[in-house]
Amino acid sequence: MKKSLLLLFLVVILATIPLITQQGTEFGGADGEAEEAITKIQPEYKPWFNSIWEPPGSETESLLFALQAAIGAGFIGYFIGVTRQRNKQIKQEIPEKSKHVTH
């Protein structure tokens, strides 16, 4: 448990260091490219709605996207690990049960 908390703390530290050290950086994304393409095709286009919250910078948006991807990958990895462990236990239990069956 302590090892997991330490690793989680290190991940948080590694995620926040670039926010502190890389002030004023711009990372373009697909949303910006899509908006630019739409305004070229149809300049009078108005979005259906506006964002509830705008991140303070594109690096924050990139960080949130990366954290979302990391959480998703962690969940998938955990699910695969649990499934594999469960299957191993089932395979180990089947031969043991067949040894105890009397004919």
User: Does residue 67 fall inside a structural domain?
Assistant: yes
Range of the domain at 90: 57-103
Find the mean pLDDT for residues 33-44.
Answer: 89
Q: 96 pLDDT exceeds 70?
A: no
Find the mean pLDDT for residues 4-21.
Answer: 86
User: Does residue 70 fall inside a structural domain?
Assistant: yes
User: Does residue 90 fall inside a structural domain?
Assistant: yes
Q: How many domains does the chain have?
A: 1
User: Does residue 33 fall inside a structural domain?
Assistant: no
Q: What is the pTM of this model?
A: 0.46
Average pLDDT of the chain, as a whole number: 83
User: Does residue 39 fall inside a structural domain?
Assistant: no
- The DSSP secondary structure of 1-65, one letter per residue, reads -HHHHHHHHHHHHHHHHHHHHSTT-----HHHHHHHHHHHH-TT---S---S---SSHHHHHHHH
User: Does residue 47 fall inside a structural domain?
Assistant: no
User: Does residue 11 fall inside a structural domain?
Assistant: no
